[in-house]
Structure 1
Amino acid sequence: MCALSSQVRPARSVPGARARPETAHATRALILATFAFTACFYAWSIIGPLSPTLQKHLQLSEFQTAAMVAVPVLLGSILRVPLGILADIYGGRRVFSALMAFSIVPVAALAVWHDALATVIALGLLLGVAGASFAVGVVFVNGWYPPERRGFALGVYGMGMGGTVLAALTAPRIAKPLGLQAPFIVAAGVLVVATVIFASMARDAAKPAPRTGRVSLVAPLAIFRTSARAWALTLFYFLSFGGFVAMFLYLPKLLVGVYGLSKIDAGSRAAGFALLAVLGRPVGGLLADRLDPKHVLRVSFIATGVLAVLLGFSYKHMVPLTAECLTLGVVLGLGTGAVFKLVAQWFPDQVGAVTGVVGAAGGLGGFFPPLVMAMVKSATGSYTIGFLLLAAVAAVALSVVSRVRGDAR
């Protein structure tokens, strides 16, 4: 470990400094960060695949179930802002390790206390801390790669959202023979392993610069007072990542309710959607490295809008629903990969702060749609309006990405 530390040169010792060239150390850092992110998202998303079982166990309404699933997304969204800034200040390794260590507590507690809605919601809120891991990891990975490689590197790191796929595939299967407590125990164990490995093996590309005086979590956000592009990025990620999270969380419920599928079958189908989104993310980052990232986003938003309209009128038919959901997973993945290429390109000296706010927008994009879908279903008996609202957001995002300027305004 000492030898590793001695060979690392600072990647961001001064504002605007160029990241160090890609090396074996950078690859190792990317692998460790992706593994840690996967573990965090496995734990963060585990309530979603278990929601049909929990709904029956706790005798919940549609809205109560949607709220229970969405609550971890809420705190994860809010905390991405301060934790992204703290990662800029103290280094990604330290903040990421502390975040994972804390997240072990609520997921382990859920293994014991999951017999009351209030308890599940309270612990689910704390579990949201694991969802803030994305912003921290972006800062950590970004320091290891030069600008021309960051789109692909951050896309690979973003594949850690495949933890949601693993949760969908394994949680219902673990719970069926072993009981509801078993998936939470497994998730806690995964986090323990990830925390130990990352804390002991990961290193920041550059030591954080010494700080004097008070640490401000507000000052780094000043860019949002002057740059329309920063706000545009929040909209882009609200749609691309928020759409992914919302579809993944609510799709099992839709499949069980509309088609009467088993919980395991519904979870597996949702995992297929998530897997394609995960695979699409590095492709989106790679395309953004080679093309104008805004072109990638335009394609993603056009396709999302068209598919959302089609879903609104065909979700009751399994074949078109399957084709449309799988294609939607791909195009949303492309969008998530392209967004953070723009973050590093437009705001190289405020990556943590901008990533935190943009990531929070994406998390909120996953929080509200399941609630809206539940309310729409309860009021109209149909999901059509919910899908049409997704199409409307895609149209707005397309308009903005076509108008946003390439300068600092």
Structure 2
Amino acid sequence: MSHEIRKKEIISKESLKGNPNLGLIAGTIAFFAGFAAVALFGTTAHLIANYLNLSIVEIGWLVAIPLVTGAFLRIPFSALVDKYGGRRILITQLIIALAGMIGLIFTLRAILSHEITNHLVGYAFVMTFGAIAGTGISTFSSGITYVSYWFPQKRQGFALGFYAGIGNTAPGIFTAILPFTLASIGLIYSYATWASFLGIMIVVFSIVGFDAYYFQIVKKKKNHNEAIRIAREAGEELFPTGSATKSLVDAAKVWSVWLLVVMYFISFGGFEALTEWLPTYWTKYVGVSTVEAGILTGILFSLVTALIRVLGGWLGDRVGGEKAALASYIVMIFGSLIMIFSGANFTLDVAGEIVMALGMGAANGAVYKLVPKYAPHSVGGASGWVGGLGSAGGLLIPPAMAAFVQTFGVHGYSLGFIIFTIFSLVSIAFSLILKRYYNA
């Protein structure tokens, strides 16, 4: 009898699909495709604003709107991975994002052809479909959970750093490219090109994306304990509670998770915010061209931030996430101070932007190294809280920086970076608390 049971387990393991490296690649593809939407709004907001006669505050909300859904939908979608596995959830998110992009294409066509002439109606449609398209950005947390279940704790820092780092290059790449596509094929066809790219990536992920072994075994009608036993023999270490609600509740009970939320608010939320806001900063404050602003934002900020995240995750594996986070937020403070006192000096602004990119990228990798550590039995819930509420910085910071401009005039562009100084100081304090409490 025991021999027959053992044989069934061996057959089950042999029938499992995928491996950690393939899971990492597939998850990164999904996130990269979903996150590309954020770059479209940052670069094209000025064009849309001209057609709709938007104020600076309305522009601030426009560039932030994809991040509304992108932030808050991370919470339920990430937790649902604990119940259904990441493959089904990620495909659903990307399809919703594609629907939003198609809606934007038709809306922009109607605005440019003057079928929609009312300012409020056009603004409402763009905001609505922008929010729907922003669902693609919510793939971050569900993808983090998806990848986390493929890797053991000792490799979490690098794996999640690679996933988020490469995935986060999307805004940088698209922000740098879009000014050229806008000049050559126009606004509508630029959006159509991205929508086509997203559709292709959905197909690619459907082909190469497999759930971690535990979820594959459960789908073969195995019970929870049996699935854990077989998956553990296959090399899996982390396992879900099986309930999205329980995962969220359990993670919410871990006090350190809430410190990570605040820390992530200014590092990753700040990254999203500046990816959207810097094109406005460079063109309106420093006075460079749209193409130059795209390169400065896309390459020197977004791309650098994204790639440094890989290093931040690797560093977290080596010295501990708490120490890596502490060093990263110190760097962020120096960068924000340079921006505050730059006085629209091009050289200082470039230097400040790069320093902030280095600090933010490393901080993002360090923070997510800590998520599976503090909530090993509710990774989906913890990833949802940290990724969802933390990335709300992308929603709240652009309008707040716009408010500085509205209040202080042109000097408000630089004064707005005080937000990053204050939150970085708070994050340093939290890093020290975590370091002391966990003796890291």
Taking structure 2 as the reference length, what is the TM-score of the superposition?
A: 0.84
Which residue number corresponds to residue 392 of structure 1? 422
2:209 to 189, 202, 216: 202
Instruction: Give yes or no for the alignment of 1:78 onto 2:84.
Output: no
Equivalent residues in 2 for 1:101-140, closer than 5 Å: 101-114=95-108, 115=111, 116-140=122-146
2:29 to 27, 35, 46: 35
Cα shift at 1:353:
0.5
Which residue number corresponds to residue 161 of structure 2? 155
Find the aligned partners of 1:195 and 1:374 in 2 and give their Cα distance.
Answer: 35
- Cα 1:385/1:279, change in 2 over 3 Å: same
User: What does the per-residue CA deviation read over 1:214-241, in whole Å, with 9 as the maximum and x for residues that have no partner?
Assistant: x964332223553220101101111110
Identical residues among aligned pairs (%): 28
Which residue number corresponds to residue 366 of structure 2? 338
AA aligned opposite 2:293: A
Which residue number corresponds to residue 18 of structure 1? none
| Contact 1:85/1:356 (8 A) holds in 2 | yes
Find the aligned partners of 2:264 and 2:389 in 1 and give their Cα distance.
Answer: 7
Instruction: Give yes or no for the alignment of 1:141 onto 2:147.
Output: yes
Size of the aligned set, in residue pairs, is 390
| Contact 1:301/1:397 (8 A) holds in 2 | yes
Equivalent residues in 2 for 1:354-369, closer than 5 Å: 354-369=382-397
Which residue number corresponds to residue 268 of structure 2? 241
3-state SS of 2:336 partner: helix
Find the aligned partners of 1:7 and 1:281 in 2 and give their Cα distance.
Answer: 35
- In structure 2, list runs of 5 or more residues that go unmatched: 1-10, 112-121, 225-241
2:375 to 347, 351, 366: 347
Find the aligned partners of 2:211 and 2:48 in 1 and give their Cα distance.
Answer: 40
AA aligned opposite 1:73: L
Which residue number corresponds to residue 47 of structure 2? 53
Cα shift at 1:29:
1.7
Cα shift at 1:6:
5.5
| Contact 1:8/1:205 (8 A) holds in 2 | no
Which residue number corresponds to residue 172 of structure 1? 179
RMSD over equivalenced CA pairs, Å: 2.1
Find the aligned partners of 2:40 and 2:390 in 1 and give their Cα distance.
Answer: 18
Cα shift at 1:324:
1.1
- Cα 1:5/1:32, change in 2 over 3 Å: farther
1:95 to 89, 95, 107: 89
| Contact 1:314/1:320 (8 A) holds in 2 | yes
Cα shift at 1:385:
3.1
Find the aligned partners of 1:182 and 1:118 in 2 and give their Cα distance.
Answer: 21
- Cα 1:170/1:7, change in 2 over 3 Å: farther
By percentage of residues, which structure has more helix?
2
Find the aligned partners of 1:80 and 1:299 in 2 and give their Cα distance.
Answer: 27
Find the aligned partners of 2:212 and 2:321 in 1 and give their Cα distance.
Answer: 26
3-state SS of 2:36 partner: helix
Q: Which has the larger radius of gyration?
A: 2
Find the aligned partners of 1:331 and 1:79 in 2 and give their Cα distance.
Answer: 26
3-state SS of 1:348 partner: coil
Find the aligned partners of 2:176 and 2:39 in 1 and give their Cα distance.
Answer: 12
| Contact 2:89/2:142 (8 A) holds in 1 | yes
| Contact 1:75/1:125 (8 A) holds in 2 | yes
AA aligned opposite 2:272: V
Find the aligned partners of 1:226 and 1:219 in 2 and give their Cα distance.
Answer: 11
Find the aligned partners of 2:246 and 2:212 in 1 and give their Cα distance.
Answer: 24
3-state SS of 2:274 partner: helix
Which residue number corresponds to residue 309 of structure 1? 337
- In structure 1, list runs of 5 or more residues that go unmatched: 11-23
